[in-house]
Amino acid sequence: MKKYNTPLIDQLEKGPWPSFVTEMKKAGKNNEMANDAVGHLEKCYTTKMGYWKHGGIVGVLGYGGGIIGRYSELGEEFPGVAHFHTVRLNQPSGFFYTSKALREICDIWDKYGSGLTNMHGSTGDIVLLGTKTDALETIFAEYSSRGWDLGGSGSDLRTPSCCVGPGRCEWSNYDTLDLVYNLTQEFQDELHRPMFSYKFKIKAAGCACDCVASIARSDFSIIGTWKGDILIDQKEVQNYAKKGMNIMSEIVGMCPTQCMSYDGKELKIDNAECSRCMHCISKMTKALRPSGERGATICMGSKAPIVVGSLLSWVIIPFIKLESPYTELKELIRKIWDWWDDNAKPRERIGEVIEMKGMRSFLEAIGVPPMPQQIKEPRKDPFMFYTEADITAYKAKEAEEKKTGKYRF
Amino acid sequence: METAELQEKIFAFCQAAKGKKKLKEKDIIKGVSAEQNVPPDDVKKAMRAMIDVGRLMYSYGGGASSVEIPSEEYLREKGLIK
């Protein structure tokens, strides 16, 4: 196997942190593709050029997603990376694996690919880096025969992902694991057959701590919330104070809606003003906990900057109950896709289309009434207009009230 | 309309767009459905059957996916022609 001199990327092995270069070199000892990837990377650093080409027609028969074609312009110099396609495997909900399952993934990948993996990509998939075109169908057959499936890529529903939810976290307001599994099964067609204008990401977080960063990284963010008050154990509040927590500055002062007060003895919360952000609860886990009905808030539209700048998700449904079989949620998603499909240009994410067409027409199309919680910035969201029909009805009502003497200003 | 006949219409629709426009699945469904006056679901099923056997294929470029008539290279790679 060719030995590459790599003074530049060796720098990335120094310091206290784990290094991807070290891992690539380890893989390169047994695998020609990984070895050439090391040399190729050094060349990129030396010349300050990227040599990767991306896209094209690679894939497995019948699927439009899951394989991302990558080629190097330096195929002759580094034959191991001439084809270096990425395979995305649909991860289990909440990233729960057995060590047997992980071995299975890696054994197949060592056999047909570079052995390099990325656990996990930002969409959540298990990303297997580097294989050749002629191995794709075999790889797919090997993984699918063991119950694995490809994830999403291109203009399709990207692999839905979620936080660990009730599997490991007491704050989850709904079963994120079950929901994501259910949505993945329901939307198999949308996941494997690219039919949209661009990508569509669904992420499910059990609470507003949002461990999957759904608010910033998904077109459709499902964030757990509750309807009741925050229950306070005043004795535990005092324990936190005794242990050195500055409740005024760390809790009360950090409350985004300023709905808390503390007089040194008792912590009070004006629950009507609370936005359920989870800050106080996550800081004082023993003293505070949610109560009442549990469900989720649906926010939409976040994305990284490509066509226009980055966006954060925007509240569409303030509260929805999430219980299997999630019929209401699935119907909502389908209505959203229909509207998006009718209005989007190629490569336009749904958040961009909502900004362009207006929240009003979006809400009308998906049959959701305007609600105060949907206002992103006070006095800056003019989407609650009256239609001609509304004005006519209002005038008729006003005339009637004037006639009967019930009219009030 | 018989599925085989509909598939010929779909193929002709894709061929007419070749080199001019990247067609999304929905472009084909809407276009052929309107042109041939057949329900969109029938077009969808017929088109997907064509994709499953390699008569059409998914492609990707510039960040978006499309449906195209496969090249000989693709068909050879999938073992569909020699």
Q: Give the residues of chain B that fall short of pLDDT 70.
A: none
**Residues whose CB falls within 8 Å of the CB of residue A270, separated by 6 or more in sequence, listed in order:** A259, A260
**Interface with A, mutate which of B60, B78, B80 (most A CBs under 10 A):** B60
Rounded to whole angstroms, the Cα distance separating A66 from A140 reads 10
Residue A381 has pLDDT above 80, yes or no: no
pLDDT in the model for residue A309: 85
Cβ-based burial of A94 (10 A; exposed 0-12, middle 13-18, buried ≥19): buried
Please state, rounded to an integer, the average pLDDT across all residues of chain A. 94
pLDDT at A26: 95
pLDDT tens, residue by residue, A87-104? 999 999 999 999 999 999
Q: What pLDDT is stored for residue A382 in this prediction?
A: 60
Identify whether the C-beta of residue A162 lies closer than 8 Å to the C-beta of residue A179.
Answer: yes
Residue A251's nearest CA partner among A260, A264, A263 is A260
Cα angle value A212/A216/A217 (rounded, 5°): 65
Q: For chain B, how many residues are written?
A: 82
Query: Given an 8 Å threshold on Cβ–Cβ distance, is A194 in contact with B25?
Result: yes
Q: Is residue A314's pLDDT more than 70? A: yes
User: What is the percentage of chain A residues whose pLDDT exceeds 90?
Assistant: 84
Regarding predicted confidence, which is higher, A221 or A386? A221
Q: What is the value of pTM for the model shown?
A: 0.90
When computed from its CA atoms, the radius of gyration of chain B, rounded to whole angstroms, is 12
- Residue A383, pLDDT above cutoff 80: no
Q: What is the pLDDT of residue A47?
A: 97
Average pLDDT over residues A204-230: 97
Closest-CA residue to A366 (of A403, A389, A333, A405): A333
Split at pLDDT 50, 70, 90, the class of A131 is very high
Q: Quick check: B54 and A134 CB within 8 A? A: no
Report, as an integer, the average pLDDT of A22-27: 96
In this prediction, residue A380 carries a pLDDT of: 67
Tokens of A188: 């198999």
Domains of chain B: which residue ranges?
Answer: 3-77
Taking the domain B3-77, which CATH number applies?
1.10.10.10
Quick one: A340 exposed, middle or buried, by C-beta within 10 A (0-12, 13-18, 19+)? buried
Q: Contact, B24 vs B66, CB < 8 A?
A: yes
Instruction: Select from B58, B59, B68, B75 the residue whose CB has the most chain A CBs within 10 Å, as the one to mutate to test that interface.
Output: B58
Average pLDDT estimate for A131-157: 95
- pLDDT over 80 at A185, yes or no: yes
Is A360 a residue whose pLDDT tops 90?
Answer: no
Q: Which residues of B touch A340 (CB under 8 A)?
A: none
DSSP A11: G
Indicate if ipTM > 0.90. no
CB A174 within 8 A of CB A84: no
Q: Does B41 touch chain A (CB under 8 A)?
A: no
Nearest CB to B64; choose among A68, A193, A347: A347
Question: Which residues fall within 8 angstroms of residue A322, CB to CB, at 6 or more apart?
Answer: A174, A175, A179, A222, A295, A296, A329
Element (H, E) at B50: helix B40-52
pLDDT in the model for residue A29: 95
d(CA A66, CA A77): 28
Taken in order of first residue, the domains within chain A and their CATH numbers are 7-145 (3.30.70.2500), 161-226+295-374 (3.30.413.10), 231-289 (3.30.70.20)
pLDDT score of A93? 96
pLDDT at A254 over 80: yes
Residue B45 forms contact with A (CB below 8 Å): no
Cβ contacts of A59 on chain B, cutoff 8 Å:
57-58, 60
* Distance from the B13 Cα atom to the nearest Cα atom in chain A, whole angstroms: 17
Q: Which helix (H) or strand (E) holds A136?
A: helix A136-145
Give the residue carrying structure tokens 């999630």: A326
Mean pLDDT of A358-367: 91
- Choice between A227 and A56, residue whose per-residue pLDDT is larger: A227
Give the span between the Cα atoms of B38 and B4, in whole angstroms.
Answer: 14
- Report the pLDDT averaged over residues A276-281: 96
